[in-house]
Structure 1
Amino acid sequence: MKMRRLLFVLPLFWAAVTQARQVIGAPSVLHFSKQQYSGGGQTWDADMDAQGILYFANNEGLLTFNGHGWKMLPVPNHTRLRSVKTDDSGRIYAGAQDDFGYYRADADGVLRYTSLKPLIPAGEREFADIWNIELYNGQVFFRSNNKIFVYHGNRVQVYHAPGEWRLLCRSEQGLYAQDARMGLLRFNGNGWKQLSRAVAEKQLLLTAVLEHTADTLLLFTYKHGIFRLHNGQLHPFTTPAAATLQKARIQCAMAWKNDQLLIGTAEAGCFILNRHTGAIVQQFGLQEGLQHNSVRKIFPDGGQNLWLALDNGIDMIRYNNAIKQIHPDKHQYLSTYAARVFNGKLYIGTSDGLFVSPLDDRQPTSPSRSQNNNVYHASLRPQEAPEGAGSKTFSTNPPETYADLSFQENRFRKVEQTGGQVWSLSVSGGQLLMGHHEGAFRIGEKLAEPLLKGTGCWLFLPQATRTLIGCYNGLRTMRQTGGSFSKTLQVNVLFESLRFLTAEQDSIVWASHPYRGVYRIVTDKDTTLRFTLFNSRHGLPSDNNNFVFRIRGRMVVATQAGIYEFDPVRQTFAPSPWLFPVLGAVPVQFMTEDPVGNIWFVSNKTPGVVDFHRNHDGKPYRTMLFPELKGMIVTGFENIYPFNEENIFIGGEKGMYHINYKKYRQPKKEPRVMISQVNARGDRDSLLFGGFLPSREAAFKSLSASFSGFHFEYASPACGHGGNMEFSYRLEGFDPGWSEWAARTEKDYTNLPHGRYTFAVKARDHLGNVSSVATYAFRILPPWHLTAVAKSLYVAAGLALAWGAYILQKRKFAAQQRRYQRKQEQLILHHQYEKEQREKQLISLQHDKLATDIQFKNKELATATMHLLQRGKLLFAIREELLAAIKKIEPLPHYPFKKVMRLFDEAEQDTEDWEQFSRHFDEVHNNFLSVLKKRYPDLSTTDMKLCAYLRIHLTTKEIAQSLGISVRGVETSRYRLRKKLEVPGDTPLYDFLLAVANSGPMEHSG
């Protein structure tokens, strides 16, 4: 019996112990004000669809968030939206004032509202606000104060309130409602069955109903805390947190992972409780960074982020984030500069003193130095392991090992006598030392013991026989004996402010000055030294912003152009042969290494790590930045304390940041990406795609050529990736390849030519995981002058033009041919003319020649004629004279004279002269004698001679002389000739002879 009582008391005792427990690490809280989402202050409900889009019931309508941008959709009747619920079919049910219905994306991804009020039976359509919406057994339940509406199968059924409906909620096992008169009821499929009338009798206002055990329910009330309902009886759920919750007034509650409860209150923010004991695990209110303490709805997304619908704004708590924030002082945000885990406590140095919190559940491990060195060297690439790599900057004490310290209980207190600026924390000789604005201190159990006062101290550099202190005015040294330190001594000569120190050997120390360069200090004794200043004349990129660190046993200088190392042979600096290729020529302000050899650094206000245990892109390391903390660290006083892979502490402007690197680098779900909006721009802008539908399911759009500009927006749902997303896109049909990765979430294209396009985008998280590709396809139609119809018209017009051109060309050719023909005719005529002219010229020449020949022949003929005439005349004269002489001779000798007379006759009848004469005569007179002979073959030689002489117009006397006869004899011969020729009496003989010669020999018939 006693044991049973003990078992009953133990949970209460545990609850009493843990009810006020607040963890060290507070997750970051993102604020969304009404100015950001352009809505009303009050938000009543929240839910998420399958795409990861969040929906909020806001005073001004349905508010949506896709991980990047907000959209507000006013309710059609312009009233307040009180409730929202999504289902698997893509519907978003909404409850407003005097209306309820659902939004659903159309083929363009735009949400369209459909009211269900017309389906309500006539006479039941008057109601006020719809406060709750629940999905149960394929039905949708809407609660107003006097009616519960059930939508199923395109009909609406109404359940009237016996008194007043005050709650409608669903748990893991059933659907519950509260009525002011009947108390708590449960839906059995056909109606409502009463579970507890005591709820009505005690006048409780329920805000949530959850299963506690198999036969027990947890009832959350607005003003009376939490009750357990077992067998119809109410029992207060008594925990030390009950009074707090009762006073805070519970507005909503829900079961969560790991047997936890999420509770939203009206006055104290959000609580996370142990489901079985009721112990407070964590609380979030104004003090923890919320915008408002009134939480009306809590919604956990898939990444275990908590979304809070507030009375004024919306908050997201990144509860499961690997990066958390530590606030040592609960009452103010202090800048932090140092952290150290020492002797089971966590120390954090701030701008207002040193704070300490004890650590529970300690699991110390003490590996030997050789084990540490083995782990350390395992992280190095063989060719890069420098000499002396075993020398480490960590404490020589065995390290303490803890799991994620952010879940430790927050019991920070301020260490006494540490008020003011704390610069550093170091461990030397088993003692915790603090560099402070007012000096150097050893931290005891309760207070700080001063070791040096009067000057500020930046840091400590433990060595084998001493500890060096970098101070505002130079270098100090002190020795340790047991647990005590000797008096600090000033190291002479160098009196510069030395905020960065590292050792090359016990006698050689390197220090950096913010704007002079780097000092190499050689210490002979504790109080004497030699130093050499190295600056840009010795290979450093600049005299300013050089910081010395010891990494893997080697002194390196972090500069504004990468990591440099000292070459002792050449006495100059050069880019580090093993770190410069890793980090590149980027500005680095801080460097340190963790116990397993990873290098942590700060560059451009962003912390990062070079992880030598993860390969990436063919390299034996991976460089990762933490963009979540960009600009949030203390600029100029960067500090990273990598205690172990689950506890990395980074100084920040508002508290200390804690990174669980082991959790941060764990693989997460594949990131998702969505195309949230597509706009076409032209003479008027047009929304093509609204984003509330998977883009691959969007209707394919064919757009006119007036739309040549396009605006694409894309996002990754905010679940689980902390907002550290990068995107790469391409427009298939235009871009040659994928773009570079960038955080930009929109892209514009202008002056796209007509054609088919597909916009594709993918997302990548901080671990390099790449999402599947989201696409949106569309088509730009060609302008009217490039359409198929226009092309057909162009073809027809082209054919018509070609035909017209052909006809025209044909006509032109015909005309040209006619012109050519005319030209040819003209040419022919001209040619003929020229030919005729040439012929005329030739004829003329021939005539001239003939004339010349005739003239010549005539001359010859005349000569011959004259010769004949002269000869005939001569012969005639000789004959006459001879005859006259003969007559005078008496007696006349007859014989000799006869012989002479015969000679005269022979001379007169000489044929040779005649033949020559006739030949010349025919040549001159167109064969006159030949034609005449052929026509009149009976003509004698004398007749022929007479004709010839008549033709050339010889006188009768000349003819007589030529023929050797008398004139009368000529007349006689002419008479005879007329007879032979049968010349008519009225026709002159000359004309007749000429006509006979011209008519040719065949014309004569007789």
Structure 2
Amino acid sequence: MKLNGFFLLFILINLPYISLGQVKKIGLPHIKNFSRTEYKGGTQNWNIEQDKNGNLYFANNNGLLQFDGSAWTKYPMPNVTFVRCLKIDASGRIFVGGYDEFGYFKPNSKGRLEYFSVSKLVKRDNPKIIDNIWKIHFFKGAVFFQSFKTTYIFKNNKVKVLEAPNKFQFSFQVNNQLYFQDLSMGLMKYSNGQLIPLKGTTFLNNTEIWGMFAMPNNKILIATLDKGLYLYDNESIIPWETEANQFVKKNSCLGGSIIQNDYIVLNSILNGIIICDSNGRIVQQINHKKGIQNNTVLTSFVDSKSNLWLGLDNGITFINENSPFTYFGSSFDLSTVYASVVHKGNLYVATNQGLFYHSWDHTFKEDTFKLVEGTTGQAWNIQVVDGELLCAHNRGALLIDGGKSFKTLDNVGYWIFKQIPNHPNYLIGSNYNGFSIFEKKANGWQFRNKVGGLIKSIGEFELDDKSIWIKKDNLIQQMTLTKDLKQFKTIKTYQNLTNTSKGIGSIQQLKNKIYFQTNNQFFKYSYEQESFFEDKMITRLFKNIPKVSTLKEDSQGNIWYVFNESLGVLMKNKDNTYKNNAAPFSNLTGNLVYNYLSINAINSENILIGLTDGLAHYDSKLLNNFANKPKAFVRTFAFPGNSYILGNGQKTIEKYEVPYSSNQVKFTFSSPIYENLENVEFSYQLIGFDENWSSWSNSWTKEYTNLKEGNYIMKVKVRNSYGIQSDETSIAFRVYPPWYRHSLAYLFYLLLAAGCVYYVRFRIRMKIRKNKHFETLEQRRLYLEKETKIKQEQYELEKEIEKLENEKLQIKILSKDKELVNNTLQVVKKNKILNGIIHKLKDINTSSFDEATKAQFTKLNRSITKEVNTDKSWKDLEKHLKNVHFDFLKKLKEKHPSISPREMDLATYLLMNMSTKEIAEFMNISTGGVELARYRLRKKLDLNQKENLIGYLMSIK
């Protein structure tokens, strides 16, 4: 634990303690400061209250602040003004007052505080302003909101007005009475709607009253701003001439509070606070020097556990008054403490900076520890031996008297001194070079001699009437002295205590006997058997204790031990049994001086523990205050789209409902534990998700993502800094399934499945019918296809026959064409012959013929000529060829539009496979002319030399 506090001085060792839970008069309590950067509010805090769940509320310049032990929450006023005062009623409503506004906060269904204005019920004469509300009181069923000019009385949802005779200053409730200070009338008591002036109080008109407190014998203590403290007995006012009054006059008072019924906290402007008893004696003074962050204390508040909260001009401070621990630290000029002792009315403390002392018999609330003259430097130990004070110092063995070192016995650095058994006038001290012997003479302790035979630095050691035992480098050395104490006669080394117990933990003296410890097993040494044997009774004491590293028995018989940098104690009972107690000292974990366990048990009420940054004072009788279990809360429960704040007094919900789309939940935990917040730990378990409780942790938030649908219970418990666990607290919630996994959805799925089965069954039946129909149709189709195929095949066969017949006919036609051509050629030949006969007949001279012969000749010539002229074979052939080859000629003309009729005749002749001679005869040209015509036809048809003319013509056909 890091100590934040600064410390006051010890008072008297034998001052009585009235009861458990009182204000300690020795040391300074632990102090925790909260800056505005932590609580995210304004600097000034004017008032403090606590609700029934332990949450704290602060009237802050930026609004209402709430602190649950884990997190701060700010609730601003509707007109964004400061809050000057607040008060919480039994129903949990938080009444607040500020500038031109007053009302109350109460939680809505989700736990967030909502503001409800009461000031709107006031009938104002425009533009009248309400001004600042400074005080709120609950009195006879009504709520009083007090400003300087007016007090507004809220009851039954109506507001009445109580005007000030002149001007109100402040108001107070004391002994079930309500008092007002008026600047002209003095103190007045409110009764039945009237203000009754109190006798003898106009004396206070020229000052401000900031506090009124109930005192014994029906008296009232009045705290003024600048005139001091007064006692009022309903008749007269007299100054309260006490130590507290001197402080108030010097530093100005801003009121205060009553703590633990017997003590009064007084706030000041200039110097923090004081706590005084009913006689005005100052018990504690806590200011900026001693730990609080600001010396101007605007308000003080005592919470439900009798701890003190301060609202400062800049920040908030918590003071752990209800604790068995108080501290002396840097404010007392103490640093690392190695040892302490009380001698002749002074407390001496050995530190790394020197030996310091402070009076143990007087109260010094302002003083610090003083350095013993001549001891600057490392002081390792301070001891009282035979009535003399010896300091084991880095500079030597020093004798101390009062506030100075008056004699140096030896200049070598020393660690510790012990008296030698059976040699009452001799002392042995361990130093940086071994051991030395000191002798008590008439004029006190004197250095006698250095012990030879061992030259090494020795810290702790133990000795009995036969041997000196030291632990060094994880070994035990047993040494015996010569009779003249000048030399080590024997030195024996042990690596282990037994064959089964390896290693050596520590050496210590318990119950006036030397014990050797390893792994929490304790051994003694038998000189008769020259071996170690286990003391099972002591071992059993440490059976359930973690492995210890250092032990020490105090003057009361308690056994203190260190484990894992933490401290514990076996407290000795009256019946000589022991009770283990480690949890209260967890606050000191990490702050103990390594390998230097400094315990100074003056008595059960005054136990001093050395720390790395000062000295702790522990009163074991006050520990019973912490037997009560703390309380754990699930403070917030949030998921996307919704958030609940728990513990603000709203109605609880049996089970929260979370939609599946928001199955990412977040929890925060809190506990109204304000002592040693850094050591408060939480453990949680989400039933339905976590199999085990989580490890203890300072973390107060937990988030779960992608939770499956189902019922969950979040359980949490808390452990305070004293190791006491709370009972479990839990909230239940249900993550609803997505719509497609909802119970209604499953019913729909069932109906849908049944519908699907019915539909499938229906479809199968329809398909069977359809298949039968299709099968019939298919058979019919196949039959028709087969029939069609047969018809097609028959048709194709007929076509083939027709084709064959056409081909046969074509062949026949071609044959006929050929025959016709041949016949035509014969006719042509005949005509040629006849033409030749005609020409020859023309050459015959008919003059010699007689008339009859001549007539016969002429008749013959005419007959032949007629035969030739009437022969139409050629024209018939030409017409026949055009009819037979019409399609060919048409395609040829379409493909080659520029072809001439004579070339078309040539193509027809070529197609008919006529010879060149035949073509020449038909076309009445020479064979050379046929070849020329063939060449021209090839050109006209765009044929190259390699292409066959007849083949091309056949392709067109």
Residue 208 of structure 1, CA deviation: 1.6
Query: Are positions 1:647 and 2:606 aligned together?
Result: yes
Query: Are positions 1:320 and 2:277 aligned together?
Result: no
Partner of 1:348, secondary structure, is: strand
Structure 2 vs 1, CA of residues 752 and 576 (structure 1 numbering), >3 Å: closer, same or farther? farther
Equivalent in 100, 106, 114 of residue 98 of structure 1: 100
Query: Are positions 1:608 and 2:568 aligned together?
Result: yes
8 A Cα contact 1:227 1:237, kept in partner: yes
Residue 603 of structure 1, CA deviation: 2.6
8 A Cα contact 1:60 1:78, kept in partner: yes
Structure 2 vs 1, CA of residues 605 and 418 (structure 1 numbering), >3 Å: closer, same or farther? same
User: Counterpart amino acid of 1:647?
Assistant: N
Structure 2 vs 1, CA of residues 201 and 217 (structure 1 numbering), >3 Å: closer, same or farther? closer
* C-alpha distance after superposition, 1:772-808 (max 9, x if no partner): 4322222211111111332232122111112112223
Q: For this pair of structures, how many residues does the alignment match?
A: 747
Query: Are positions 1:263 and 2:218 aligned together?
Result: no
Query: Are positions 1:332 and 2:287 aligned together?
Result: no
Instruction: Note the residue ranges of structure 1 that are not aligned, 5 or more in a row.
Output: 1-20, 362-405, 824-1006
Q: Distance in 2 between matches of 1:714 and 1:724?
A: 15
Q: Quote the residue 1:784 is aligned against.
A: 739
Structure 2 vs 1, CA of residues 202 and 622 (structure 1 numbering), >3 Å: closer, same or farther? closer
Equivalent in 456, 463, 484 of residue 496 of structure 1: 456
1:101-140 pair list within 5 angstroms: 101-123=103-125, 126-140=129-143
Q: Quote the residue 1:381 is aligned against.
A: none
* C-alpha distance after superposition, 1:381-415 (max 9, x if no partner): xxxxxxxxxxxxxxxxxxxxxxxxx9999896554
Q: Quote the residue 2:158 is aligned against.
A: 155
Partner of 2:750, secondary structure, is: helix
User: Counterpart amino acid of 2:291?
Assistant: G
Equivalent in 666, 674, 679 of residue 711 of structure 1: 666
Q: Quote the residue 1:309 is aligned against.
A: 311
Query: Are positions 1:749 and 2:704 aligned together?
Result: yes
Query: Are positions 1:692 and 2:648 aligned together?
Result: yes
* C-alpha distance after superposition, 1:249-308 (max 9, x if no partner): 101123333432211010111111233x32322211123222111111110112211111
Residue 60 of structure 1, CA deviation: 1.6
8 A Cα contact 1:43 1:309, kept in partner: yes
8 A Cα contact 1:24 1:326, kept in partner: no
Q: Distance in 2 between matches of 1:517 and 1:524?
A: 23
Residue 106 of structure 1, CA deviation: 1.9
Equivalent in 593, 612, 631 of residue 634 of structure 1: 593
After TM superposition, the structure 1 stretch with the greater mean CA deviation from structure 2, 344-353 or 65-74, is 344-353
Structure 2 vs 1, CA of residues 583 and 454 (structure 1 numbering), >3 Å: closer, same or farther? farther
Residue 117 of structure 1, CA deviation: 2.1
Q: Distance in 1 between matches of 2:62 and 2:350?
A: 46
Partner of 2:758, secondary structure, is: helix
Q: Quote the residue 1:224 is aligned against.
A: 227
Residue 595 of structure 1, CA deviation: 4.4
Query: Are positions 1:467 and 2:427 aligned together?
Result: yes
Q: Distance in 1 between matches of 2:269 and 2:366?
A: 25
Equivalent in 777, 793, 797 of residue 752 of structure 2: 797
* C-alpha distance after superposition, 1:628-684 (max 9, x if no partner): 11222334544223343322211123321011123225553332222222222xxx4
Equivalent in 32, 50, 53 of residue 51 of structure 1: 53
Q: Distance in 1 between matches of 2:767 and 2:572?
A: 87
8 A Cα contact 2:334 2:369, kept in partner: no
Q: Quote the residue 2:628 is aligned against.
A: 669
Query: Are positions 1:181 and 2:184 aligned together?
Result: yes
Partner of 1:626, secondary structure, is: helix
Residue 231 of structure 1, CA deviation: 4.5
Equivalent in 521, 539, 542 of residue 582 of structure 1: 542
Q: Distance in 2 between matches of 1:278 and 1:553?
A: 47
* C-alpha distance after superposition, 1:932-953 (max 9, x if no partner): xxxxxxxxxxxxxxxxxxxxxx
8 A Cα contact 1:613 1:621, kept in partner: no
Q: Distance in 1 between matches of 2:735 and 2:457?
A: 67
Query: Are positions 1:521 and 2:479 aligned together?
Result: yes
User: Counterpart amino acid of 1:434?
Assistant: C
Query: Are positions 1:235 and 2:235 aligned together?
Result: no
Partner of 1:697, secondary structure, is: coil
Residue 728 of structure 1, CA deviation: 3.6
- Provide the alpha-carbon RMSD of the alignment: 3.9
1:945-956 pair list within 5 angstroms: none
Partner of 1:245, secondary structure, is: helix
Query: Are positions 1:341 and 2:342 aligned together?
Result: yes
Equivalent in 369, 386, 398 of residue 441 of structure 1: 398
Residue 149 of structure 1, CA deviation: 1.3
Instruction: Note the residue ranges of structure 2 that are not aligned, 5 or more in a row.
Output: 1-22, 779-957
Structure number, greater radius of gyration: 1
8 A Cα contact 1:714 1:745, kept in partner: yes
Structure 2 vs 1, CA of residues 62 and 536 (structure 1 numbering), >3 Å: closer, same or farther? farther
Residue 689 of structure 1, CA deviation: 2.6
Q: Distance in 2 between matches of 1:333 and 1:358?
A: 15
* C-alpha distance after superposition, 1:472-528 (max 9, x if no partner): 22111223357733424212232221111112x333222233x56443333334222
Q: Percent identity?
A: 28
Structure 2 vs 1, CA of residues 148 and 762 (structure 1 numbering), >3 Å: closer, same or farther? same
Q: Quote the residue 2:351 is aligned against.
A: 350
Q: Distance in 2 between matches of 1:490 and 1:531?
A: 16
Q: Quote the residue 1:913 is aligned against.
A: none
Equivalent in 368, 371, 375 of residue 418 of structure 1: 375
Q: Distance in 2 between matches of 1:72 and 1:484?
A: 68
TM-score after normalising by structure 2: 0.71
8 A Cα contact 2:673 2:680, kept in partner: no
User: Counterpart amino acid of 1:634?
Assistant: V
Equivalent in 699, 722, 729 of residue 684 of structure 2: 729
User: Counterpart amino acid of 1:677?
Assistant: T
Structure 2 vs 1, CA of residues 320 and 134 (structure 1 numbering), >3 Å: closer, same or farther? same
Q: Distance in 1 between matches of 2:412 and 2:261?
A: 52
Q: Distance in 2 between matches of 1:468 and 1:748?
A: 63
TM-score after normalising by structure 1: 0.67
Q: Distance in 1 between matches of 2:349 and 2:322?
A: 23
Q: Distance in 2 between matches of 1:814 and 1:557?
A: 101
User: Counterpart amino acid of 1:290?
Assistant: I
Q: Distance in 2 between matches of 1:665 and 1:41?
A: 37
Q: Distance in 2 between matches of 1:737 and 1:61?
A: 42
User: Counterpart amino acid of 1:521?
Assistant: M
Structure 2 vs 1, CA of residues 202 and 103 (structure 1 numbering), >3 Å: closer, same or farther? closer
Partner of 1:26, secondary structure, is: coil
After TM superposition, the structure 1 stretch with the greater mean CA deviation from structure 2, 804-813 or 576-585, is 576-585
Query: Are positions 1:39 and 2:16 aligned together?
Result: no
8 A Cα contact 1:141 1:149, kept in partner: yes
Residue 219 of structure 1, CA deviation: 2.1
Q: Quote the residue 1:374 is aligned against.
A: none
Residue 215 of structure 1, CA deviation: 5.7
Q: Distance in 1 between matches of 2:96 and 2:238?
A: 35
8 A Cα contact 2:272 2:295, kept in partner: yes
Residue 118 of structure 1, CA deviation: 1.6
After TM superposition, the structure 1 stretch with the greater mean CA deviation from structure 2, 228-237 or 716-725, is 716-725
8 A Cα contact 2:187 2:197, kept in partner: yes
Q: Quote the residue 2:554 is aligned against.
A: 594
Q: Quote the residue 1:835 is aligned against.
A: none
8 A Cα contact 1:184 1:199, kept in partner: yes
Residue 736 of structure 1, CA deviation: 4.1
8 A Cα contact 1:609 1:624, kept in partner: no
